[in-house]
A and B are shown apart, each in its own frame.
Chain A
């Protein structure tokens, strides 16, 4: 079945460091791919998405490229800020369940000043 695997956390970085959170997926067909973020005390919210191969999603300085050949959707940011501290979830669409998303386990990011 469809699944998402993302790197284990927690990840601790200094401010302005480069961030990569790896995400790979297994899916039949051509799913859409998503990164969701959960800031402390808040609900999950969509960070970015890509709907087809080679698409690049971007938002708030974060980017991720849909790589069909490597079944990956790695999240990157060139210079993280303390305010980026959150839990990041990679997800893919599973349209067999009326729009259900399949999530990775989440990666907790802590950015130190």
Chain B
């Protein structure tokens, strides 16, 4: 299994500002995923971040709004840029230690509230 730490666990942000969420894994993993969970909704994949390559974004998500870094095999960041109240969500980092199995490990999430 993998242990994932996310920071911050929660934050209250002002409209128009940006916030960077950090994800630290206790082991080296190739594939990392960033999900968003809006209130009352299911988890939606934002992007897949593989070390050494550009992140792959899902439909409806763009790099300018959600830039991602993946500097090594144990760390990634997701920035939520120019925030609006619609960005209020829980953002989750997850990793796959065994690609192709669908078994993901998740961090506890970062709950963002945008005023």
Q: How many residues of B contact A (CB 8 A)?
A: 25
Cβ of B103 within 8 Å of any chain A Cβ, yes or no, is: yes
Interface flags, B73-104, vs A, CB<8A=1, else 0: 00000000000000000001010100111111
**A103-B43, A105-B42 are contacts. A95–B4 as well, Cβ < 8 Å?**
no
Is A105 a contact of B107 with CB atoms below 8 Å? no
Distance of A34 Cα from B99 Cα, bound (Å) = 15
Residues of B within 8 A of A44 (CB): 43, 92, 94, 104, 106
Q: Which of B56, B99, B103, B106 contacts A43 (CB 8 A)?
A: B106
29 contacts between A and B (CB under 8 A): A4-B42, A32-B101, A32-B102, A34-B102, A36-B106, A43-B92, A43-B105, A43-B106, A44-B92, A44-B94, A44-B106, A45-B105, A46-B103, A89-B43, A91-B102, A93-B102, A97-B45, A97-B48, A97-B58, A98-B31, A99-B33, A99-B48, A99-B100, A99-B102, A100-B45, A100-B58, A101-B45, A103-B43, A105-B42
B residues lining the A interface (CB < 8 Å): 4, 31, 33, 40-43, 45, 48, 56, 58, 92, 94, 96, 99-109
A residues lining the B interface (CB < 8 Å): 4, 32, 34, 36, 41-46, 49, 89, 91, 93, 95, 97-101, 103-106
